[in-house]
């Protein structure tokens, strides 16, 4: 069956005339009917590939129990069992199992969430069905569908080409061959070589790097060549991210620290307090377990997954969890202009010919408005140059205007806004687009590309009108290829003076931030009329007649100004890298606040960049800079140089040629709306609204994640202090001060009450202050001196004083005073329970205090994190259970408390919160 399908593809490739191909695939030039599509969907199924299987679930599950930390806990538990300390062993193992299950659950949910994100970006394709062009989901394609493809599209099925203009495809997914392969629509007589060598067939899973084409779907889904190898491309190993690496190092360091402390405590207990070996051993073991940061890994996953989901709601889809952390350290954003900083909602508002200049009224894509010369309305038919300008612009345009219908109340466009607005302008000038398109049939297109910055169409003349090639593009590029110009309907030689006049008009508009496109035309030299395939870029786009300028306004996006301000505050540099003209680029950059309005800014064009050495470029990159008239390939060089300067670079892109820069950047950002499939594949993040502001929001989330992991560490490390201090007192007093906290009680904090609130910190919202500091250096570690000081010498210190005080307080009320403290019986159990309670209540304050680094906890997000409050309730309930459930009392050595103890405990959080609020106030006022 499979071979049959392969042969079918080859058979279709060998057919010489289109009619037979249509016949064989039971379709027509106008596409399939709705009924035929329905029938074929039933017969052939959806056009999808079977999901490649990843690592089996059981293996992922097991991995959560074999990390270094987990192994340490297994061993600790085992030793406890061997030493006949069953309860301790059970406690340690239980925690290990809970921790492992929880990690797995978090990872599983995060995986599901990222998979769901992929579904938010369905693949579309353009088809002709029932004689109408439609955009459908690629999975709905059936054999016989007529598909239209253009540069940057992913090829959705195995397709026999019917028309092809300059098509180059990337077939590396099929053949491993990285060089682009040319394809055309000619029949193949002798089939040799591989299936992928069929010159007139393009294959699913590959992508179109250049040109445009129309083809017929031959086979879909698993019957395609890619379908057959899809199963082989499984188990792609993901690299481990810098954060994961750091966490591995961190757990290793903390585990080593825990073991060192454990051994030290064991030795001190044996030799200073003269504990029996087994008791000293339990003591040491307890310390080890207490110091291991059990919840760390699930918290990180929870935090990353939460951020990814929040980003998705804010129009930024991250493909890998790990990209979130890189986003947080981004120090430079290289951003496109059109569509990202501006709305890409073009409206032609001026027209210019060498003798006249016009204004155009009306807004949006509704063809309602006038063309005015001064106050006087003009019609194109009365003004030959204006007519040719509008007609040329219209014919060299692939977009379509869709009138309001039952789905949309307003005028919509299909295609590029830069092109669509030209049709609108033509209509305003009294030209009938439908009619003009009928009287001139397009026979060839030399498609637009961002390198030469123009495009040309060749039309078959049906009427007396003279010109048959129409070119539109960047004025400086078009003008270079013109040697004459149109004035009052006559072709005149283009002098240096006229060139200057044209460029002066162009610059005048550009300085106002307007986008200018020139239109040129010419008669197609006769030799190419018969051999149209010889009409190539090199011989058509030269010696052209300049007709005029169309000037369009693209309003800046409203959110960009605030986002740019935020970036400046966060010391993130924004570099505009655009294909547009230097003056337009500079004006917009200033207008939207990307560069300060009055600052000196260096505008470097693509041409100038070519002449610059890397050193010169690096020097220029240190100041305010805008890149204009850039070819997408040049972005790669900019990114590379920035990276060599130690910057973490986010770069935006939408076209095929942007892919190398997107891959090279630390964060490649593709446009969801205007982006090609190729760009989206190369990127790490996709903006569903193409909006620059969404990148900034994502960076804030990224920074938030890192800060959340730190909050978590701060919280769990700080509790180690009050846990350790009582034991140190016990050791240093040579046992004179009985242990204020038993080992089982220490474990009940670390492995019980602390877990949920700590996790809650991982879910915290990114506070605004994360954008008030410079980007984190990649060399900076999660745990630094500041964090340790804050954990041990601030939060930890307060908690140690209070918990140790609580111990003496309880003893005092039970009638014991130092040095005759209770060392057994109910009074001792009560004293240790109060100490335990004091630490737990200190931790309640700590979790609330750790939520925000600088901001007061009493702010708009106070109630937003339900996990924190659930954690606090859980903490208190668990403590109540430990205190009042007899069996737990027996295991943990606790005793019921007096009402005065409760009163004391309940009061603990308030002063702690107050002190920390005062500290934060000083921090905010920059007094400390």
Report the DSSP pairing between strands 573-577 and 490-493: unpaired
602-605/469-473 β-pairing: unpaired
Q: Does 419 bind ligand ATP (CB under 6 A)?
A: yes
517 counts as binding ligand ATP under rule CB under 6 A: yes
Alpha carbons 151 and 178: distance in angstroms, whole number: 17
CB of 315 to ligand ATP, least distance (A): 18
Q: How far is the CB of 640 from ligand ATP (least distance, A)?
A: 19
List binders of ligand ATP among 464-483 (CB under 6 A).
472-474
Q: Is the dihedral of CA 130, 134, 137, 142 positive or negative?
A: positive
Given CA atoms 587, 591, 592, 596 in this order, what sign does their dihedral have? Answer: positive
Q: Which is nearer to ligand ATP, 631 or 788 (CB)?
A: 631
Note whether 636 binds ligand ATP by CB under 6 A.
Answer: no
Among 455, 756, 912, 913, binds ligand ATP (CB under 6 A): 455
Residue 580 interacts with ligand ATP (CB under 6 A)? yes
> Could you tell me the end-to-end alpha-carbon distance of the chain, in angstroms, rounded to an integer?
76
* Shortest separation between residue 165's beta carbon and ligand ATP, angstroms: 15
578 scored as a contact of ligand ATP (CB under 6 A): yes
Cross-strand bridge partners of residue 318:
685
CA distances from 99 to 71, 420, 752 (A): 12, 57, 11
Binding segment for ligand ATP (CB under 6 A), chosen from 24-32, 193-201, 502-510, 576-584, is 576-584
Nearer to ligand ATP, 140 or 416 (CB): 416
Distance CA 555, CA 858 (A): 39
- Shortest distance, CB of residue 671 to ligand ATP, whole angstroms? 9
Question: Minimum distance from CB of 668 to ligand ATP (Å)?
Answer: 15
Query: Angle CA(481)–CA(487)–CA(488) in degrees, nearest 5?
Result: 150
Task: Work out which of 273, 454, 502, 567 binds ligand ATP, going by CB under 6 A.
Answer: 454
C-alpha distances (whole Å) from 345 to each of 128, 342, 363, 553 are 26, 8, 10, 8
Site string for ligand ATP, 889-908 (x = CB under 6 A): --------------------
CB atoms within 10 A of CB 492: 14
Catalytic residues: 336
The region of 266-274, 324-332, 577-585, 639-647 touching ligand ATP under the rule CB under 6 A is 577-585
Q: Are 762 and 300 in contact (CB under 8 A)?
A: yes
DSSP secondary structure code for residue 750 in this structure: I
Burial letters for 642-657: b for 16+ Cβ neighbours within 10 Å, e otherwise?
A: beeeebbbbbbbbbbb
185 sits near ligand ATP (criterion: CB under 6 A): no
Q: What are the Cα distances from residue 576, in Å, to 580, 668, 689, 694?
A: 10, 15, 18, 16
In the complex, least distance from residue 517 CB atom to ligand ATP, rounded to whole angstroms: 5
- Cα 905 to Cα 804, 842, 875: the distances in Å are 13, 9, 13
Could you tell me which stretch among 110-118, 241-249, 378-386, 414-422 binds ligand ATP (CB under 6 A)?
414-422
Rounded to a whole number of angstroms, the minimum distance from the CB of residue 675 to ligand ATP is 11
Among 200, 345, 418, 843, the residue binding ligand ATP under the rule CB under 6 A is 418
Measured distance CA(780)–CA(773) in Å, rounded: 14
Q: Which is nearer to ligand ATP, 294 or 554 (CB)?
A: 554
* Binding piece for ligand ATP, criterion CB under 6 A, among 453-461, 750-758, 765-773, 917-925: 453-461
Label each residue of 179-227 as H, E or C: CCEEECCCCCCCCCCCHHHCCCEECCCCEEEEEEEEEEEEECHHHCHHH
Separation of alpha carbons 667 and 506, rounded Å: 35
Nearer CB in complex with ligand ATP: 453/557: 453
Residue 648 backbone dihedrals phi, psi, to 5 degrees: -100, 115
Stretch that binds ligand ATP, among 331-339, 525-533, 747-755, 877-885 (CB under 6 A): 331-339
Question: Least Å distance between CB 311 and ligand ATP?
Answer: 23
Given the complex with ligand ATP, which of 307 and 661 has the nearer CB atom?
661
**Residue from 5, 40, 183, 453 that binds ligand ATP (CB under 6 A)?**
453
- Assess 579 for contact with ligand ATP (CB under 6 A): yes
Q: Report DSSP letters for 59-114, one per residue.
A: HHHHHTTSSHHHHHHHHHHHHHHHTT-HHHHHHHHHHHHHHHHHHHHHHHHHHHHH
Structure tokens at 401: 């205007």
Residue nearest to ligand ATP (CB): 579
Dihedral sign, CA of 824, 825, 828, 833?
Answer: positive
- Residues 5, 337, 710, 763: which binds ligand ATP (CB under 6 A)? 337
Nearer to ligand ATP, 502 or 840 (CB): 502
Min CB(473)–ligand ATP separation in Å: 4
Pick the stretch among 37-45, 140-148, 333-341, 614-622 that binds ligand ATP (CB under 6 A): 333-341
336, 436, 658, 723: which one contacts ligand ATP (CB under 6 A)?
336
The verdict on 557 binding ligand ATP (CB under 6 A) reads: no
Any bridge partners for residue 910, and if so which? none
450 binds ligand ATP (CB under 6 A): yes
Q: Which of 338, 345, 427, 727 touches ligand ATP (CB under 6 A)?
A: 338
What would the x/- binding string for ligand ATP be over residues 28 to 47, using CB under 6 A?
--------------------
**CA torsion through residues 220, 223, 225, 227, sign:** positive
Rounded least distance, CB 556 to ligand ATP, Å: 12
Peptide bond into 41 cis (omega under 30): no
Q: Does 556 bind ligand ATP (CB under 6 A)?
A: no
Question: Rule CB under 6 A: which residues touch ligand ATP?
Answer: 336-338, 416, 418-419, 448, 450, 453-455, 472-474, 517, 578-580
């Amino acid at each position: 069956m499979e071979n049959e399908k392969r042969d079918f593809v080859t058979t279709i490739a060998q057919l010489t005339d289109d009619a037979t191909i249509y016949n064989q695939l039971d379709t027509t030039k106008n596409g399939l009917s709705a009924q035929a599509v329905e029938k074929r969907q039933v017969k052939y199924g959806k056009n999808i590939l079977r999901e490649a299987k990843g690592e089996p679930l059981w293996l992922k599950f097991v991995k959560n129990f074999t990390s270094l930390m987990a192994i340490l806990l297994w061993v600790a538990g085992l030793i406890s069992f061997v030493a006949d300390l069953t309860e301790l062993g059970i406690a340690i193992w239980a925690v290990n199992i809970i921790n492992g299950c929880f990690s797995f659950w978090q990872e599983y949910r995060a995986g599901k969430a990222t998979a769901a994100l992929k579904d938010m970006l369905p693949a579309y394709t353009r088809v002709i069905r029932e004689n109408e062009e439609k955009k459908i989901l690629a999975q709905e394609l059936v054999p016989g569908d007529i598909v239209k493809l253009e540069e940057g599209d992913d090829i959705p099925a195995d397709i026999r080409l019917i028309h092809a203009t300059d098509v180059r495809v990337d077939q590396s997914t099929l053949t491993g061959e990285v060089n682009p392969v040319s394809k055309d629509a000619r029949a193949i007589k002798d089939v040799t070589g591989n299936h992928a060598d069929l010159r007139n067939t393009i294959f699913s899973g590959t992508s179109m790097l250049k040109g445009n084409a129309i083809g017929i779907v031959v086979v879909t889904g698993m019957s395609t060549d890619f379908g057959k190898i899809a199963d082989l491309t499984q188990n792609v190993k993901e690299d481990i991210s810098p954060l994961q690496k750091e966490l591995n190092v961190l757990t290793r360091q903390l585990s080593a620290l825990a073991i060192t402390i454990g051994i030290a405590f064991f030795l001190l207990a044996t030799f200073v307090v003269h504990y029996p070996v087994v008791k000293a051993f339990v003591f040491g073991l307890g310390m080890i377990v207490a110091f291991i940061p059990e919840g760390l890994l699930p918290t990180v996953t929870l935090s990353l997954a939460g951020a990814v989901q929040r980003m998705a709601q804010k129009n930024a889809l991250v493909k890998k969890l790990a990209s979130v952390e890189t986003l947080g350290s981004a120090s430079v954003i290289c951003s496109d202009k059109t569509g990202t900083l501006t709305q890409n909602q073009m409206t032609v508002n001026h027209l210019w010919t060498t003798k006249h200049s016009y204004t155009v009224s009306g807004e949006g894509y509704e063809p309602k408005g006038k063309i005015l010369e001064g106050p006087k309305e003009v019609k194109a038919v009365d003004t030959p140059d204006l007519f040719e300008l509008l007609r040329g612009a219209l014919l060299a345009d692939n977009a379509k205007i869709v009138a309001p219908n039952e789905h949309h109340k307003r005028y919509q466009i299909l295609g590029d806004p830069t092109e669509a607005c030209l049709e609108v302008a033509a209509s305003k000038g009294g030209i009938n687009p439908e009619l003009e398109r009928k009287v001139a049939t397009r026979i060839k297109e030399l498609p637009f590309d961002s390198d030469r910055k123009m495009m040309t169409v060749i039309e078959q003349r049906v009427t007396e009108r003279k010109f048959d090639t129409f070119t539109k593009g960047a004025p400086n590029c078009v003008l270079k290829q013109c040697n004459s110009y149109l004035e009052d309907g006559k072709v005149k030689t283009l002098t240096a003076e006229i060139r200057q006049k044209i460029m002066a008009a162009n610059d005048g508009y550009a300085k106002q931030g307007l986008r200018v496109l020139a239109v040129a035309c010419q008669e197609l030299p006769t030799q190419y009329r018969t051999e149209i395939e010889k009409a190539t870029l090199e011989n058509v786009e030269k010696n052209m007649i300049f007709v005029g300028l169309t000037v369009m306004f693209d309003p800046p996006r409203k959110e960009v100004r605030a986002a740019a301000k935020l970036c400046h505050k966060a010391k993130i540099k924004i570099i505009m890298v655009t294909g547009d003209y230097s003056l337009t680029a500079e004006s917009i950059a200033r207008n939207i606040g990307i560069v300060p309005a009055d600052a000196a800014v260096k505008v470097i064009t693509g041409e100038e960049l070519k002449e610059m050495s890397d050193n010169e470029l690096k020097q220029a990159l240190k100041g305010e800079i805008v890149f204009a008239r850039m070819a997408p390939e040049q972005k790669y060089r900019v990114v590379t140089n920035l990276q060599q300067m130690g910057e973490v670079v986010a770069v935006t892109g939408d076209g095929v040629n942007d892919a190398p820069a997107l891959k090279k950047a630390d964060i490649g950002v593709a446009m969801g709306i205007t982006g090609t499939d190729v760009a989206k594949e190369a990127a790490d993040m996709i903006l569903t609204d193409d909006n620059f502001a969404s990148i900034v929001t994502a960076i804030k989330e990224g920074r938030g994640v890192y800060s959340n992991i730190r909050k978590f560490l701060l919280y769990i490390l700080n509790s180690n202090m009050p846990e350790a201090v009582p034991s140190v007192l016990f050791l240093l007093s040579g046992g004179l001060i009985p242990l204020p906290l038993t080992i089982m009680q220490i474990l009940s904090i670390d492995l019980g009450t602390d877990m949920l609130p700590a996790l809650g910190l991982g879910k915290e919202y990114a506070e605004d202050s994360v954008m008030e500091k410079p980007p984190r250096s990649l060399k900076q570690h999660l745990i630094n001196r500041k964090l340790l000081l804050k954990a041990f010498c601030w939060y930890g210190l307060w908690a140690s004083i209070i918990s140790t005080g609580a111990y003496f307080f309880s003893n005092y009320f039970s009638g014991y005073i130092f040095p005759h403290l209770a060392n057994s019986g109910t009074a001792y159990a009560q004293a240790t329970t109060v100490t335990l309670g004091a630490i737990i209540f200190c931790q309640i304050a700590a979790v609330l205090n750790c939520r925000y680094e600088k901001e007061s906890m009493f702010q708009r997000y106070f109630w937003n994190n339900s996990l924190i409050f659930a954690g606090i309730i859980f903490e208190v309930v668990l403590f109540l259970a430990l205190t009042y459930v007899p069996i737990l009392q027996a295991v943990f050595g606790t005793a019921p408390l007096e009402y005065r103890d409760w009163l004391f405990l309940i009061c603990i959080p308030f002063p702690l919160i107050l002190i920390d609020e005062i500290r934060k106030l000083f921090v905010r006022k920059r007094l400390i």
